[in-house]
Chains A and B, each alone.
Chain A
C-alpha cells in the first residue's frame, strides 16, 4: 500500500498509509492530510490513486506545489518523490516502509516562511529556463565542476577524471571513467563503473539509481545537480 511520510523541517510528524482512492491535502481540517501553515491553501492539493499510478494535483494553490523542487500542476508520482508544500515535505512511497518512526512532538504553530517559498519558486523558475534553453535534462555544476551547465544529450555520458570523459570530476582516487549516466525513454540512470564508494546521490553511496529532479550527484570531490528536462 502506498505511504506518505509528512515531514516538517526534516522531522517526521506523520506517516499515512492509505487505501483511499483520493486523499486531500490542505490547511482546512476537512482534509485527509492537514498542514497547519498559513502558506498552505485550505484545499491545497490532492493525490488520486488508480491501479497503475498515483497522481498529484495542485488545486491552483496560492504558493504552489513542488515535486522534487519542480513546480507542478499535475504530476504522476514515482517512488521516493518529495512533494513540497510550504515548509512541509511529503515523501511518497509506493509501498509501506514499516519503519514505524515516531512522530516528532509538534505543536502545530508555525510562521509562514515566505523567504523559503520565494527561494523555491526562484530556483524552479531558473531551472525551468535552463532546461528550456537546452531543450532537455541538464547537469548543473555545484562544487569543483569545470562547467556551470551541461546538457545531457547523449544516450550515455561518462563521468570521471580521464581527459576523454564527457563530464570531468575531481578526486585523486577516482577511476578514469568513474560513472555513466544512461538515458533511456527519458529516464536517466546513474551507474558506478569504477572503484566502489566514489559515487553518491544526495549523500548516499550508490552503485546504480534512477535520477530524480534535484538529485545531487557527488563523484569524488565534484558535485552536480540533476535538473530534469521533461514537463
Chain B
C-alpha cells in the first residue's frame, strides 16, 4: 500500500492544493493528515473542508485544540496567539464541527500516526532530539511512527542501549528490523530553511519512505494573510522557510 502523509497545513490553501495535486501524481492509495490544519494562515475553513474531502485519517493538532477552545493560547508566542484568536473568530459552526470529529491518533498497517510525540499525545510534546524520542518510542507499539508538530522533517531510529539516531528528513528504506519515528515536515509553514511544502509518501511493501518538496504560490498565500491583517512575522517566514 502507498500512503500519503501530510501535516501542519496551517491554513495555507495554496500549499495544500499544490501538495494534493502532487500526491495525485504519486498515485497513493490514501492520504492521512496528522493535524494542525488551522492556525497561522488565512484559509482555515477552506483547508478544513479540503482535508475532510480528501483525507482518510484526520488527526487533531494543538492548533485545532486552541481553535476549539480546549486549551488556552497563553503558552503560544504573540504572533501565534494573535493568529489563533483570529482563527477562532473566523471559523463557522460547520468548520468547528469538522475539527470536533478529528481523532487524536491512529494505528494503521504497521504505522502509528499522531500529531506530536506518541508520549501523552494530547500534551503535544515536541520531538526535536534523541532524548525526546525515547519516551515516544516507549509508548508506541508499531515499528513506524509518523508525526509532525515541529515542522522539521526528521528521522529518528531507535537503538538498543543508546540514544536514538537522528537524521534530517530524506528518502530512505526503513530497515525491517528497525523502529522509527518520522517527522513528515510541514505543508503550510516549513521551518527547515526550505520554503517548499513538505510531505511524505510511505510504501509499506518495500518500507520505502520518500520525502517530497513542492513549490507553491507563496506570494498569494502571503497576500491573503496581509489582507486578513495576520502578523507580519508569520507572513515573511513563509518565503524563507523558517
Contacts and interface: CB of A to CB of B under 8 A. Distances in A.
Given A175-B97, A194-B97, A195-B97, A180 B70 contact: yes
A193 interface: yes
B163 interface: no
A164 B71 contact: no
Given A156-B69, A156-B71, A180-B68, 14 more contacts: A158-B70, A160-B100, A162-B104, A163-B104, A164-B104, A175-B97, A176-B103, A178-B100, A180-B70, A193-B96, A193-B97, A194-B100, A194-B101, A196-B93
Interface string B82-120: 000000000001001101111111000000000000000
B162 interface: no
A177 interface: yes
B70 A175 contact: no
Contacts of B99: 193
B153 to A, nearest CB: 26
The prevalent SS among residues of A at the interface is loop
A132 interface: no
Given A164-B121, A175-B97, A193 B68 contact: yes
Contacts of B121: 164
B100 A193 contact: yes
Which of A162, A163, A196 gathers the greatest number of chain B CB atoms within 10 Å?
A162
Contacts of A13: none
B72 interface: yes
A176 B96 CA distance: 12
The 5 closest A-B pairs by CB, nearest first: A164-B104, A194-B100, A193-B100, A175-B100, A177-B100
Given A162-B104, A163-B104, A180 B97 contact: no
A158 B96 CA distance: 14
30 contacts: A156-B70, A156-B71, A162-B104, A163-B104, A164-B104, A164-B121, A164-B122, A175-B97, A175-B100, A175-B101, A176-B100, A176-B102, A176-B103, A177-B68, A177-B70, A177-B100, A177-B101, A178-B100, A180-B68, A180-B69, A180-B70, A182-B69, A191-B69, A193-B68, A193-B97, A193-B99, A193-B100, A194-B100, A195-B97, A196-B97
A155 interface: yes
Interface residues of A, number: 19
Contacts of A177: 68, 70, 100-101
Which of B71, B93, B100, B122 gathers the greatest number of chain A CB atoms within 10 Å?
B100
B73 to A, nearest CB: 12
Contacts of B68: 177, 180, 193
A8 B97 CA distance: 41
Contact of B103 (A158, A162, A195): A162
Interface in A77-121: none
A195 B96 CA distance: 9
A178 B70 CA distance: 12
A196 B99 CA distance: 14
Interface in B35-75: 68-72
Interface string A150-161: 000001101010
Contacts of A193: 68, 96-97, 99-100
A207 B71 CA distance: 19
